[in-house]
Structure 1
Amino acid sequence: MQAGDFMMATNILLSGNNFAKVKLLFKHMNMGIVADKTFFKIQNAYCVDTIKEFWEEKRSAVIQRLATKDSVVALADGRMDSPGHCAQYCSYTTMDNDSKDIIALVTIDKRETERKAVIMEKEAFIRTMDLLMTEINLKEICTDAHVQISALMNKGKYKDAGIFHSLDMWHGAKNLAKRITAVGQQSGMKLLLVWVKAVVNHFWWCCNKASTHEEFMERWLAILHHVADEHVWVMGKCEHDCPTKHPKEWIVRGSVACTDRH
């Protein structure tokens, strides 16, 4: 085994790239590369255990520091190695909101979930929560709007754990835009498409301004009045100067596009 092979194999692994893809790139560039067998031999003999030891050492230091805090807010999300039901692995990463340090990393193989890809993220979340709850004073965890995870937090295993479950704003805004756009494709709903960006911006504004759920809902529901050209109503008013002209067409109160059944 040559030193060049060792360096190339190590650098490919540490870069996070897929060996097969790098090998294909080198092939198109008419360049030599370390053999498959040699790459995996180096990976298994020298790299994997060393990387694990380094990760555990760094994580242990972070957890010891966070263990002294009265409360910790964590951000978590999963990533599949490929889209849809064909995914074989799910990596679930959790980060401390204040320091931005990674505090947990769980990888699930589909064979651990009876080859059901749709529950891999749920299983990874459970392992993450069970681990962190024994190590730090976890008070809030923020995830995307994953139905199975929401069920665990609101009415399942962690219902009485005293941990607040919040939803990621980016995912919320993305889902909101998709839903409004889908409804806007229906007959008589085309006017909604004009308002998609404004409604999503209002959602972001509400998330950033509101400090409680009640305050968020109060600000959020104002959009129902604003889009209908109602800027002052019984229970409140829009937090902007009332426009005399508006570039968008107002949605008529009582019209099909203005109902809340969608």
Structure 2
Amino acid sequence: MDLKTNKILDTQLVQKNEVRNSYAMELEGLQRGLAKIAEEELQVSHLVTDRHSQIKKYMREVHPEVVHWFDCWHIAKGIFKKLEAVGKKKNCEIIGDWSRSISNHTYWCAMSSEGDGELVSQKWCSILNHVCNVHEGHGNKFPRCEHGDLEDRLWIKKGSKAYEELEKIVKGRLLMTDIKKISPAEQTSGLEAFHKVLCHFAPKFVHYFHAQMEARLLLAALHFNENSTRQQAKNQNGDLIYSVSFPKGRHGEGVAKEVKVKQTFNYIDELFEELIFRREVHSSFAEARAANALENRHRPVPVAQMEQRARKEDIEASHRSRFTD
């Protein structure tokens, strides 16, 4: 996806049995996508992904010329989950009260640092002083907090069990390495929105063979690209319209969401025009299918056919009821 235009540039469908394990599927999809972009003579200057360890190593070793950023939402989400878990421990309940603020602090660190990794790191670690009501002495690049006067609140005492648990999370080895590469601008929220659209075209609880899944993936991309830049709807008075949802992770806290204008489906007309064209060019469905490049390419064997199946007679012979004496 091009994060500036919010358009899907390419889609890749990877089946589990094409790689070693399911964890390697994301890396395989990225490799195919980058190869396709290079084939089209396009250049990638910046890449924003989650903190997938194989992708980090691949980009570092194979594509060092590409600036690799990490999506802020994925990092903040992981931090919030850890804080919520620690907040359930004895004498650490106060961390739960601070968890949302610390998670939001991640976004501010990314947005306000303009890609300066060392500045991001110092701003991030400053939260350990801030929760103790200490607002200066954070580092040479970020000597003091930028907020104004604060009202009194539940501060964490330095040296307490809660502080030690919080410090383990904030100064985690992997987090301290990755926080310096947090994306200052573009994020993968648009891609997450596309995944939501894809679930409408190809629900996860329904099985599809490779060709059918690929067709639904392409349809989802067409639909998303046509509607990805819709404007926010307005009422008769010209005011912007919002809806309120109550996500499970917010524990009853309401969240305002923009209501967009209605979706359009003009890509369907283009598909029908292409269908009529192919009907005029080819005399039969078999001929049109044979001319389709997607149909002629190699497809992986269905996962269900990978294992050798026992004969029906042997399965029936081995059948035993749990209630048989």
Q: TM-score, with normalisation over the residues of structure 2?
A: 0.47
Pick the aligned partner of 1:233 from 137, 153, 178.
137
More strand by share: 1
Residue in 2 aligned with 1:254?
159
Residue in 1 aligned with 2:18?
112
Residue identity opposite 2:145 in structure 1: C
Higher relative CO (Cα under 8 Å, sequence separation at least 6) belongs to 2
Whether the 8 Å CA contact 2:72–2:110 is kept in 1: the answer is yes
Aligned equivalents of 2:47, 2:146: Cα separation in 1? 31
Residue identity opposite 2:51 in structure 1: A
Pick the aligned partner of 1:219 from 118, 123, 144.
123
- Structure 1 residues 112 and 141, CA, compared in 2 at 3 Å: closer, same or farther? same
Residue in 2 aligned with 1:18?
none
Aligned equivalents of 1:234, 1:122: Cα separation in 2? 37
Residue identity opposite 1:140 in structure 2: H
Count matched residues. 162
Residue identity opposite 2:158 in structure 1: R
- Structure 1 residues 213 and 234, CA, compared in 2 at 3 Å: closer, same or farther? closer
Residue identity opposite 1:126 in structure 2: Q
Q: How does 1:19-34 map to 2 (within 5 A)?
A: none
SS in 2 for 1:220: helix
Residue in 1 aligned with 2:66?
163
Residue identity (%)? 28
Residue in 2 aligned with 1:85?
none
1:234 Cα deviation from its structure 2 partner: 6.4
Matched, 1:175 2:78: yes
Matched, 1:132 2:50: no
Structure 2 unmatched runs, 5+: 170-325
1:111 Cα deviation from its structure 2 partner: 2.4
SS in 1 for 2:111: helix
Aligned equivalents of 1:237, 1:185: Cα separation in 2? 31
- Structure 1 residues 169 and 146, CA, compared in 2 at 3 Å: closer, same or farther? same
Matched, 1:148 2:51: no
1:215 Cα deviation from its structure 2 partner: 2.1
Structure 1 unmatched runs, 5+: 1-94
Residue in 2 aligned with 1:122?
27
SS in 2 for 1:141: strand
1:213 Cα deviation from its structure 2 partner: 1.2
- Structure 1 residues 133 and 258, CA, compared in 2 at 3 Å: closer, same or farther? farther
Q: TM-score, with normalisation over the residues of structure 1?
A: 0.57
Whether the 8 Å CA contact 1:231–1:242 is kept in 2: the answer is no
Whether the 8 Å CA contact 2:125–2:138 is kept in 1: the answer is no
Deviation string for 1:59-93 (max 9, x for gaps)? xxxxxxxxxxxxxxxxxxxxxxxxxxxxxxxxxxx
